[in-house]
Amino acid sequence: MIEFHRVTKTYNGAKALDDVSFTVPPGIITGFLGPNGAGKSTAMRILTGLCRPTSGSATVLGRPYTNLERPGLEVGALLDAGAQHPGRSGREVLTLGAMMLGLPRSRVDEVLDLVGLTGKESRRAVGGYSLGMRQRLGIGHALLGHPKVLILDEPANGLDPQGIQWMRELLRDLARSGCAVLLSSHLLHEVEQVADQIVMIGAGRVLAQGTLAELGRGRSLEQTFLELTAQTDRSPA
Ligand SMILES: Nc1ncnc2c1ncn2[C@@H]1O[C@H](COP(=O)(O)OP(=O)(O)OP(=O)(O)O)[C@@H](O)[C@H]1O
């Protein structure tokens, strides 16, 4: 369970998030949508303890991330697939992660298998990986500790159609097993396929939340998105 309660975040007086409240329950996939600059990454950074809200509270499993006893085992996050050291192999990245979490090395092979990286690929330096391979590695890294909460910022970015289908099934399986999944994406068609509920933000404020049926009322997610965000887009013209 993830809970945002009246979260505001200001940078130099400008509100990146403005009185944001929403809940991400376990057992379903929540799509987190908004135009460029809407505040999605800021919300995810707050959730994972990388920055603090100016006011309000964001909790994971009932506590702020920084108060979790074993955050690495409780929460899996993919915020930037390009963040891994380019000189390390994928296997080294996962092995270091597993060691830090006190997990057996066998978990590395399980995760490589889960994300579809072959033994040969896993021994190559991450700097030579395609974007899709980096995403798979990042998702694997997030899943190492069997987390109950998964926070993914644009995980489908760079995945080919097979990769997207694979990720869809993976996320559905994780949700079915009780995981709370928060998924940000600009791929509205993809979110429409996979998400059980939607939280839409624009200019730092929640514009709408609910199931696809509740939000759309017969319209496509894209139509709803364009309509709701028309007045709020902070991206450059
Ligand atoms: N460290 C920072 N310092 C100052 N302003 C910031 C900082 N981080 C984010 N912002 C601002 O906060 C607002 C929200 O940015 P954020 O990156 O959270 O949006 P986003 O929805 O993730 O956008 P995108 O879809 O482009 O990734 C933007 O106006 C951005 O310029």
Q: 42 CA distance to ligand 1 centroid (A)?
A: 6
Q: Compute, in angstroms, the gap from residue 159 CA to the centroid of ligand 1.
A: 24
ipTM of the complex: 0.96
Q: Residue holding tokens 């791929």? A: 187
Residue where the block lists tokens 């899943």: 143
Tell me the per-residue pLDDT of 112-161, one tens digit each, with 9 for 90 and over. 999 999 999 999 999 999 988 999 999 999 999 999 999 999 988 888 88
Tokens matching residue 157: 């970015």
What is the C-alpha to C-alpha distance for residues 152 and 181, in angstroms, rounded to an integer? 8
Better pLDDT: 229 or 206? 206
Contact partners, residue 100, CB within 8 Å, separation at least 6: 72
Q: Please report the domains of the chain, with CATH numbers, ordered by start residue.
A: 2-83+147-229 (3.40.50.300)
Centre of ligand 1 from the C-alpha of residue 182, in Å: 18
Q: What is the spatial distance between Cα 119 and Cα 47, in angstroms, rounded to a whole number?
A: 33
Give the pLDDT score at 234.
Answer: 58
Q: Which atom of ligand 1 is least distant from the CA of 186?
A: 25
% the chain with pLDDT above 90? 76
Q: What is the pLDDT of residue 8?
A: 97
For 229, other C-beta atoms within 10 Å of its C-beta total 21
**Which residues are CB-contacts of 164 (< 8 A; sequence separation ≥ 6)?**
156, 187, 190
- For the entire predicted model, the pTM comes to 0.91
